[in-house]
Amino acid sequence: MIERKIRLTDTEEVKDFVRAAGKCDFDIDVCYNRAVIDAKSLLGMLYLGICKDLIVKYGEQDECFEHIMNKYAVA
């Protein structure tokens, strides 16, 4: 299981992230505190809010999705 931290700062970044997650054929979970949301759900991702450090958990790799993860990664 791969675990990375990201931060999305506006709704366009959320849409970009959800679009990339939707192209993956494996499950991707996004966690904030005790909430766990499917990364492919736009409403779920907007529910988590923006400008927060989110933990993304996924079990497989996809080149396009890794590019998005690197784009929004928090050091």
Q: pLDDT tens digits, residue range 3-21? A: 999 999 999 999 999 999 9
CA–CA dist 17, 38 (Å, integer): 12
Whether 75 is in a domain gets the answer no
pLDDT of residue 49: 84
Domain count, the chain: 1
Q: CATH number, domain at 24? A: 3.30.1340.10
Q: pLDDT tens digits, residue range 19-54? A: 999 999 999 999 999 999 999 999 999 999 899 999
- In sequence order, what DSSP letters do the residues of 12-69 get, joined into one string? HHHHHHHHHHHT-SS-EEEEETTEEEETT-HHHHHHH-SSSEEEEEESS--HHHHHHH
Domain around 5: 1-70
CA distances from 58 to 11, 12, 24, 42, 71 (A): 22, 22, 10, 17, 17
Whether 1 is in a domain gets the answer yes
pLDDT of residue 75: 74
DSSP code of residue 2: E
- Mean of the pLDDT values across residues 49-70? 94
The pTM for the full model equals 0.93
